[in-house]
Structure formats: C-alpha cells, structure tokens
Chains A and B, each alone.
Chain A
C-alpha cells in the first residue's frame, strides 16, 4: 500500500533515487545505511505526505515522549546499581548516590525530570490527538492504548515517588493510598495489599519497587510497539488540513528517509539537550529522611495529583478520590464511540465555530473553577462548623457540577446550534481546563495549613 502511494505521489527530481547511487560501489557506509533504512521502514511507510513533515502536524510530542522514555529506561538501569529498596538503606543510598557517586546527582536529576516531562509531553500529545479529531475510526483502539500508556506513565511516576523514602515521598504516598479507604468494600483490602500493612513500611517499598522497575516497564514494552503499529494500520497519522478543506489527489509525498527521519532525530536532540541542561541546573528535591511521627506542613501530593488533592479540599473523599476520577476516566474511554456528526480528522478544533466554542469553554472553565474554589473556601472558613456529610459535601456539589455540564451542553446545542463534535469538544475543554486550573491552584496557591496564599 505504501508503495502504491509512493508511485502515485508527486516526487521532485531529487527525491527519485539517482542512478549513480545504485552504480556506486557498495562500500561499508552505504551498506549500513541500507540496513538502518530497512529497520526504520518497519515502523514507517517508505513515503509520507509532505504535510505531516511540518512540526505543527503533531508538535513531535510522540517523538519527545518516546525519547524521554528511552532516557528513563537507561538512567533507571544505572540507578538500580546504587539504590537499595528497604527503609533502612533507601534514603542513605540516595544520599550516597548524589554525594559520592560520580555523575550520580546528574543521573538522578535526569531520571526525575524526564519522568515529570513525559507526563507533560504525553498529556499534550493526548490534547493534540483530541483537538485534531485523531480518535475517530480507525483510530478508536489506539486512543484506548494511548490512555493505557498514560496510565502506565502515571503509575510509574507514582511508584517511583516513594523510593527515596524522604519526608516528601513518605507523606505523599500516605495520603494518596489513604484515599482507597473511601472506596467501599474493595478499598481497605486493596490498601492493605498495596501497603503490605496499615501504613507505609518495608513491604510497601518492595511492592512499589517491583511495580516501578518490572511490571510497568514490561507493560510499556508491549503497549508502545502496539501503539506504533496501530498508527501504521490507520494509514499513518492524521493529515493536517484546513477547515472543510478537501485533500488534494494525488497527495504530494516525501520519502520517509531522510525527510521525516531527520526531523525526528532533530527533535530527539532538542529533547536531550533540554533535559541534560535542566538536569545540570536543577537538582531533584530530597527532603529529610521519612519520619512517620511528623507530617510536614504543608504535606502535598505529587504535583500531577494536585488536581485531585484540590478536589479533596472541597468534596467528600468518596467523590473526590473515587467517583469523580472514575467518571472522568469512563468518559475519556467512551469518547471515540460517541455518535459524532462528522469525522474532521486532521482539522484543528473541528471547525471555525469549534475554535470559538473551545476558547469560550476554556475561559468559562478557568473563571468558574477559580470562583468556585474561592467561594467554597470563604464559606468554609466563615461558618467553621462540623464537617458536612456525604450528601451535603459530596452528592449535592457533584450533582451541581453535572447539572452545570448538562446546562452548558444544552446551551451549546440549542442556543449556539453546535454539532455534536463541537459540543463534546467544548465540554472536554471545560473539564480539562478546570482540572488544570485546580492543579495550578494546588501547586502554587496553597501554603502552610493548606490555606490559599499568593505565591505559596
């Protein structure tokens, strides 16, 4: 199929393999280039549409994520030679790593910063896929695989967070696993299983170490090639096009080697340069050794769970830690199977109206979230009465959020005459911006005692 496209596509003179290449003696370098090319073409078609070469087609976020994953695996291999997974020695082994092992601090920084960065690049990649409508058939399954990969990245970050066994990691894991207590029936035994006891201890560290260094990497080893293979099965990535633009036929094509591959290698180098520079300047945080008797003030969850932590400040934990995350995950999983009006794959934000409504939804999400947090905080500190129950603090505000979303959807469909694609996109934007806003509030505007502060 790719060969047909190669023949059908228009190629300028320099793209055609010059005859002199074939007649040139097969020296060693040409030979190795051939093998490299043959290897690369297992992952890529021989030619790709010229349009996907532009950086704005994907912002190279998949390449960036894959590069960071490779860095994580390699630095992780090296860290395993120094790190000791038990509470007596874990902290000391990190202190030894950064203090006495040559390049140990750099290695730890690279592992930590690439672990954080891949959360960002994978999240932005998800947004790119969503906003270019790249989840419709035949890419439905790959959307699910992508969500699975994202879950694996989050799990890997979370399990890695405990390993240094310092005050930050110990208490972040304590509050995160305590959320399970609010999951009816299944929660408490699951928490007992994960912790290997009632609070983080040696068994917890063993469990997290096994998940972090064996289970998740092997899961990624299978999921990632599957993810790549599904892109090829779908005929490549979505081809960028303007609103209502018909793709030209035949589509101008370019050879994968060198045109796509050199661009990808450039992105790999940019990511590596940025990562190493950041790792030379900024050290990964390490607090005092874990002390189960004293929670630091403030104790915060890892930054990527700040959104959930901020929801916890306002909702009963059953809703904040269980109902809301499960509902959002289910919604994300269902998106590709919703009955949409069109499949505008490759067009940013569906349509002109889609752009306007997405922007309006983003602004609304930001303002409403900030206002809701402020109002709830002021009301809470104003009455200062005993904790409201699950109905008052959980079911009612949750129903309020659902009602707001339904009203927003209704307004878009009836008042602004949006189609289903535009309405779903606006609703997704509303919730996504709201979650990002909560994450920012939790990270930067919560000071000691979790009070709202400026520049905390």
Chain B
C-alpha cells in the first residue's frame, strides 16, 4: 500500500489544512475578543440601585405607586404586604401601565393583563411580573433594583410585611 504512504504532497496538504484551522481559530478568538471588551463603552442600561421610596404609612393597602426612575411599581396588596414589581411585561418587554379603574396592569403590546400581585390574568404573558427585593427598616420601604426575582406565579411568601408594632 505505497499509495497510503505520506508523500510530500500529502504532507504539505495536511500542513495547509492545519494552518487553515489555526487561522480560523485565531479569527474566532479575535472576533469574540473584539465584540466583548472588558470595559463596556456604555455603562449598563440598568445597573440597579437601592431606592428609599417612603414610609410604610404612605402607601394604602390596595394601591399601586409608579417609580419612573427605578422602572418599577410598588404595590401594597390588600393584607398590607409590599411587592416591588418590574414594569416590564414578561411577554415581550413592553412597559405595562397600571389601570387603577380596573385594578390591573394592562400591556399595550399584546393585551396581557396582570393583577396587583403581578399574576397573569390574561395571556399571552407566560409568567408573573418580575419582583425586585423589598426591605423595610424603621418603617421605611426600600427597593433594590439590582436584585431581580423571576417567578412563574405569585406566592404569599413573596410579599414583605412591616414589623408588627
């Protein structure tokens, strides 16, 4: 089987193929590096920060208050618990306004609707509105938009309650 022996032509062809693979790998390394710089040119559009939104008593149970800069709603549900709801629809990212008359969030894009807990009451939204972390200290309500909780549905344990005084 002399034809299978490594002659000069075969050897050079293999060298060329090997060099081609190396060049392709270099191109991949170059492009992936180029498109993911360590220091992004623009600061993240949504870095998150801690908002002190007010005193517990500022918010009546059963009301929703919008915080435009933090891009969230603070909902005080009927039993006095607090939820910080992301204003972004879980379907395709539109901003959902609170319609107080109907006691629901209604998405203008594809007609999804959510109740005050952020639970889906009208599809096509596939899951409940995202939550931000709420903490209450000395009767002041704080919302940390850097800490986002994705969830499928509302659970009673997600609401944050002021300490009984």
Contact = CB atoms under 8 A, between A and B. Distances in A.
B42 interface: yes
Contacts of A294: 95, 97
B45 A199 contact: yes
A28 interface: no
A198 interface: yes
B106 A316 contact: no
A165 to B, nearest CB: 14
- Chain B, interface residues (CB within 8 Å), range: 20 to 34
A203 B41 contact: yes
A197 B36 CA distance: 12
A303 to B, nearest CB: 15
A202 B125 CA distance: 28
Contacts of B68: 293
Interface stretch (A3-11, A120-128, A171-179, A432-440): A171-179
B126 A317 contact: yes
Nearest to A388: B123
A316 B124 CA distance: 7
B157 to A, nearest CB: 19
A309 B91 CA distance: 12
A312 B92 CA distance: 10
Contacts of A202: 41-42
Given A199-B45, A386-B119, A387-B123, A178 B93 contact: yes
Contacts of B95: 292-295
Interface string B106-132: 111111100000011111111100000
Interface string B26-37: 000000000100
Contact of A387 (B94, B107, B124): B124
Contact of A384 (B42, B97, B122): B122
Interface in B40-61: 40-42, 44-46
B25 to A, nearest CB: 20
Among B44, B93, B94, B108, max chain A CB count under 10 A is at: B93
Q: Which of B41, B96, B97, B108 has the most CB of A within 10 A?
A: B108
Interface in A286-341: 292-299, 309, 312-314, 316-317
A317 B124 CA distance: 8
12 contacts: A174-B94, A196-B40, A197-B44, A197-B45, A198-B45, A198-B46, A293-B95, A295-B108, A299-B109, A387-B122, A449-B108, A451-B111
Given A178-B93, A387-B112, 11 more contacts: A171-B109, A175-B93, A198-B45, A199-B93, A297-B108, A299-B94, A312-B110, A313-B124, A316-B126, A387-B123, A393-B123
Among all A-B residue pairs, the 3 with the closest Cβ atoms: A297-B108, A387-B123, A178-B93
Interface of B: 35, 40-42, 44-46, 68, 71, 87, 91-97, 106-112, 119-127, 153
